[in-house]
Amino acid sequence: MGYKHVLLALNLDENAEYLVSKAAEIARVHHALFSVIHIDPDLGHLEQGVREFDAVNIDESEHYESVAAMKRLLKGTNYPLYKHLFYTGYIEDQMAKAIKQYEVDLLILGHHQSSIFRQLMLSLSEPLVRQMPCDIQLLKLE
């Protein structure tokens, strides 16, 4: 059974290019839709929620640096992007809503190696993992 819609959750950090490449390849193998969601700190003044980036109707009078950086990063992938989403608010709530709204069946996250104690007791992703209505794949980061 293959996946139909792969969603990559990512930050704009040194691992972003690697994660986009790996997630796009996973989507390609499954002949799935490929979408990306990221937190946009420039949009903190907006009401909490998930928003779809609309490249055609963007208001050029407002410049959001992280959205522009994500657009540049996504141009480098050689697999078609279905949705570019960004969110403000609590990650657990917004991610679960986006996954249901866009019918995602595989969420991909980057994961830094850490001790078992940190993974069990201090993990910020633990509540996110507990609430997910779809499969989750972790990609190991250095």
Tokens of 17: 């290019």
Residue-wise pLDDT for 85-94, tens only, equals 877 666 667 7
Cβ(30)–Cβ(2) under 8 Å?
Answer: yes
As a whole number, the mean pLDDT across the chain is 76
Give pTM, 2 decimals: 0.78
Residue-wise pLDDT for 29-86, tens only, equals 999 999 998 766 555 555 555 556 555 455 543 446 667 777 788 887 889 999 988 7
Determine the Cα angle at 90 with ends 62 and 119, to 5°.
Answer: 125
pLDDT recorded at residue 45: 52
Tokens of 88: 């403000």
